[in-house]
Amino acid sequence: MDLLMSHSSSFLLPPSIPSDNNNNNNNNPSLTYALVLLNQRLPRFTPLLWNHAQLCLCADGGANRIYDEMPHLLPHEDPVDVRNRYKPDVIKGDMDSIRTEVKDFYENLGTKILDESHDQDTTDLHKCIAFIRDFKPNLDKSNLCILVAGALGGRFDHEIGNINVLCLFSNIRIVLLSDDCLIQLLPRTHHHEIHILSSVEGPHCGLVPIGTASAKATTTGLQWDLDDTEMKFGGLISTSNIVREEKIMVRSDSDLLWTISIKKSI
Ligand SMILES: Nc1ncnc2c1ncn2[C@@H]1O[C@H](COP(=O)(O)OP(=O)(O)OP(=O)(O)O)[C@@H](O)[C@H]1O
Ligand SMILES: Cc1ncc(C[n+]2csc(CCO)c2C)c(N)n1
């Protein structure tokens, strides 16, 4: 078990200026980003995430959110211009939340609308992740990272459904985001180094077992490090921990959720 996976929230930094040998308008040239917008108040830094993304999807009512909220997130720009500029590539879901005027607006701009109302067994986020997974089947997905905006806060059944999507697609990098924090899965198939960007994230963090009754984990770089420590619901889980170093190392015999706070200043 010596495969190493590196993580960095560089999508929370402004995109670097593209150069000739890096046309990938992001700070982490090894990763390609896709963005999924959910039907929850959009995080204030959604325009930043959008600028990093090569592909942008709305899960059903997420389209109402960009239509209604994007102009407010960019108050110094012309609202009509903002609406026309932030055009999703795809709107996918069971289409019971998107308003007709919003659907018509984006359809006229050329957005692909995928109505999957026949499937009432998977969530709209699940449908969107499956679309990205199957998009351009020959494209290498190992460097893909899917950012999910509006995934936390609000209805707990939706939040836990969104976390379940991390487990359903554990071989794809997916980051759930709200205004306050992010969550991602650390699969047990790897050990993990997490580069902390202290200008935009931390210091509050947590490590929580998921998908198994218990996990034994070892960490470095945290105020309360784990040393082959068992974690389980009903026993110890690592909440209200604090990052102490720029690089956090995590090893675990089971999948873990990693969560870290996002600074109010971004
Ligand atoms: N309050 C929320 N908190 C977290 N995620 C949410 C919330 N509301 C919606 N979502 C996410 O946005 C996606 C699209 O939301 P939408 O409201 O269109 O779903 P829905 O299928 O109509 O939900 P439901 O019928 O259960 O109200 C959901 O699949 C979910 O992932
Ligand atoms: C056991 C079970 N519980 C709930 C649902 C309902 N459900 C789950 S996902 C979804 C689509 C939401 O857009 C709906 C309606 C189900 N099918 N099976």
Q: Are residues 44 and 146 in the same domain?
A: yes
Instruction: Clarify whether residues 204 and 246 are in a common domain.
Output: yes
Q: Based on the fold, state whether residues 174 and 184 are members of the same structural domain.
A: no
Residue nearest to atom 4 of ligand 2 (CA): 121
Can you give the pLDDT at residue 46? 98
Give the residue numbers spanning the domain of 173: 31-179
Cα separations (Å) of 18 from 11, 28, 59, 257?
A: 15, 12, 29, 33
Q: The CATH number of the domain where 127 resides is what?
A: 3.40.50.10240
In a domain, 184, yes or no: yes
Residue 21 has pLDDT above 60, yes or no: no
Atom of ligand 1 nearest to the CA of 162: 31
For residues 137 and 241, membership in a common domain is answered with no
Average pLDDT estimate for 50-78: 98
Give 52's Cβ-side CA count (13 Å radius): 29
Supply 178's token pair.
């709200």
Does the global pTM surpass 0.90? Answer: yes
* Last-in-domain residue among 144, 179, 214: 179
Tens digit of each residue's pLDDT (9 = 90 or more) over 196-228: 999 999 999 999 999 999 999 999 999 999 999
> How many structural domains is the chain composed of?
2
pLDDT category at 2 given cuts 50, 70, 90 is: confident
CA-atom Rg of the chain in angstroms: 19
Question: Percent of the chain at pLDDT above 70?
Answer: 95
Q: Which atom of ligand 2 is nearest to the CA of 161?
A: 9
Q: CB under 6 Å to ligand 1: residues?
A: 38-40, 59-62, 93-94, 96-97, 123-125, 151, 154-155, 158-159, 161-162
Domain-located, residue 54? yes
- pLDDT single digits (tens) 170-190: 999 999 999 999 999 999 999
The answer on 91 and 188 residing in a single domain is no
Distances (CA, A) of 153 to 9, 37, 66, 145, 210: 20, 14, 18, 22, 19
Ligand 2 centroid to residue 152 C-alpha, Å: 19
The verdict on the CB of residue 138 being under 6 Å from ligand 2 is: no
* Residue 262 structure tokens: 């996002």
Q: Do the domain assignments include residue 23?
A: no
Element housing 233 (H / E): none
Provide ipTM, 2 decimals: 0.92
Mean pLDDT of the chain: 94
